[in-house]
């Protein structure tokens, strides 16, 4: 349990993180990026699907894949009480929730679903919730998040990601005209996507012309719209233990909710450098430009060594 002095430090940390976002989102800031000057009402409804609402406790959580979102989704399920255990009662322990249910979109109440129920009145309701509820998100170093996404989806066989993303990537960037039909067959034949292929895919202008980025590598600011939503709390995966304890205390839930363990800090510079060793300096810089808004809004240090070595 943190002392009152510790929480004074954590409050100052939050004030600083929020101020950075507010300053960069201001019209007075010279830093511009896509979507900065949109109003909340100009955000397409489908782009609000990462805002999970708990009306019981007045909480809104914007989940960012690869940033402890599995555990926070568990917590939101417990808070909302909208999922029943086999005994008919709501789940009380986040760890009791079956993993296959956690990422089922039907389980969570999200902003984009309000339109279906309330139609043209949905934005009025959204504004009310945004004004009165506690809003939070957790973020992560943008490049490390990309590495984590690649490892999770492409380093081991994942049939869904292989079919819709991996196989086309092999055709376009690895010059394999007829990739194996499945991830298992591809791996058995020694055919694997490289991190270089993945970066080529991210930098290819045709990628987003065909479809928006997948949520696992979509820019965090495009998932959570920090210039349109004034978040009350900005957590970071790098400080997840302190931030989680602080947030649960703010919400008055620290005595009732135990945040599940599971994060291992693997953000060492050498680890990142190893992954980018095969990526040209030119492409590293282009990639930084693609994610620059995330680096700046959430105050992650520009990886000068990676961009200049």
Report d(CA 251, CA 247) in Å as an integer: 6
Could you tell me if 23 and 92 are in contact, meaning their C-beta atoms sit under 8 angstroms apart?
no
Residues in CB range of 122: below 8 A, 6 or more apart: 45, 114, 115
Average pLDDT, the chain: 93
Residue of 128 and 309 predicted with greater confidence? 128
Lowest-pLDDT range, 81-95, 156-170, 198-212?
81-95
- Give the DSSP H/E element, type plus range, for residue 249: helix 240-250
* Cβ neighbourhood burial of 204 (10 Å; 0-12, 13-18, 19+): middle
pLDDT, tens digit (0-9, with 9 covering 90-100), for 131-172: 999 999 999 999 999 999 999 999 999 999 999 999 999 999
Distance of CA 200 to the CA centre of its chain: 21
Q: How confident is the model at residue 84 (pLDDT cuts 50, 70, 90)?
A: confident
The two structure tokens encoding residue 113: 């679903």
Question: Is the pLDDT score of 21 beyond 90?
Answer: yes
Predicted pLDDT of residue 47? 96
- pLDDT (mean) for 288-295: 99
Question: Is the pLDDT score of 6 beyond 90?
Answer: no
pLDDT, tens digit (0-9, with 9 covering 90-100), for 103-134: 988 899 999 999 888 988 999 999 999 999 99
Predicted pLDDT of residue 262? 61
User: Among all chains, which residue has been given the structure tokens 């380093």?
Assistant: 155
Percent of the chain with pLDDT strictly greater than 70: 95
pTM summary value: 0.94
Characterize 121-148 residue by residue with b for buried, 16 or more Cβ atoms within 10 angstroms of its Cβ, and e for exposed: ebbeebeebbeebbbbbbbbbbbbbbbb
Predicted pLDDT of residue 196? 98
* Cβ neighbourhood burial of 54 (10 Å; 0-12, 13-18, 19+): buried
Predicted pLDDT of residue 82? 82
- Give the DSSP H/E element, type plus range, for residue 54: strand 51-54
- Give the DSSP H/E element, type plus range, for residue 247: helix 240-250
Could you tell me if 44 and 111 are in contact, meaning their C-beta atoms sit under 8 angstroms apart?
no
The pairing of beta strand 51-54 with beta strand 134-139 = unpaired
The one-character DSSP state at 110 is B
Could you tell me if 159 and 179 are in contact, meaning their C-beta atoms sit under 8 angstroms apart?
no
pLDDT, tens digit (0-9, with 9 covering 90-100), for 255-284: 888 887 765 555 455 678 899 999 999 999
Predicted pLDDT of residue 33? 97
């Amino acid at each position: 349990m943190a002392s009152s002095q510790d929480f004074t430090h954590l409050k100052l940390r939050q004030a600083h993180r929020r101020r950075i976002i507010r300053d960069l989102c201001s019209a007075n800031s010279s830093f511009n990026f896509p979507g900065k000057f949109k109003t909340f009402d100009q955000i397409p409804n489908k782009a609000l699907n990462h805002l999970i609402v708990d009306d019981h406790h007045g909480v809104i959580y914007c989940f960012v894949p690869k940033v402890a979102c599995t555990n926070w989704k568990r917590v939101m399920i417990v808070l909302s009480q909208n999922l029943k255990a086999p005994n008919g009662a709501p789940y009380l322990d986040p760890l009791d929730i079956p993993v296959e249910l956690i990422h089922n979109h039907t389980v969570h109440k999200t902003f984009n679903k309000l339109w279906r129920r309330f139609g043209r009145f949905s934005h009025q309701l959204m504004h009310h919730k945004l004004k009165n509820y506690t809003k939070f998100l957790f973020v992560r170093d943008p490049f490390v998040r990309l590495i984590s996404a690649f490892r999770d989806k492409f380093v081991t066989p994942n049939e869904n990601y292989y079919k819709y993303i991996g196989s086309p990537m092999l055709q376009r960037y690895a010059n394999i005209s007829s990739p194996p039909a499945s991830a298992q067959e591809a791996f058995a034949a020694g055919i694997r996507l490289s991190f270089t292929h993945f970066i080529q895919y991210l930098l290819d202008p045709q990628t987003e012309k065909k479809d928006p980025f997948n949520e696992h590598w979509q820019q965090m600011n495009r998932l959570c719209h920090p210039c349109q939503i004034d978040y009350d709390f900005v957590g970071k995966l790098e400080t997840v233990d302190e931030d989680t304890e602080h947030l649960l205390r703010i919400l008055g839930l620290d005595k009732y909710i135990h945040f599940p363990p599971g994060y291992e800090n693997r953000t060492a510079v050498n680890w990142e450098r190893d992954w980018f060793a095969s990526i040209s300096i030119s492409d590293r810089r282009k990639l930084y430009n693609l994610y620059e808004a995330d680096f700046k809004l959430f105050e992650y240090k520009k990886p000068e060594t990676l961009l200049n070595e």
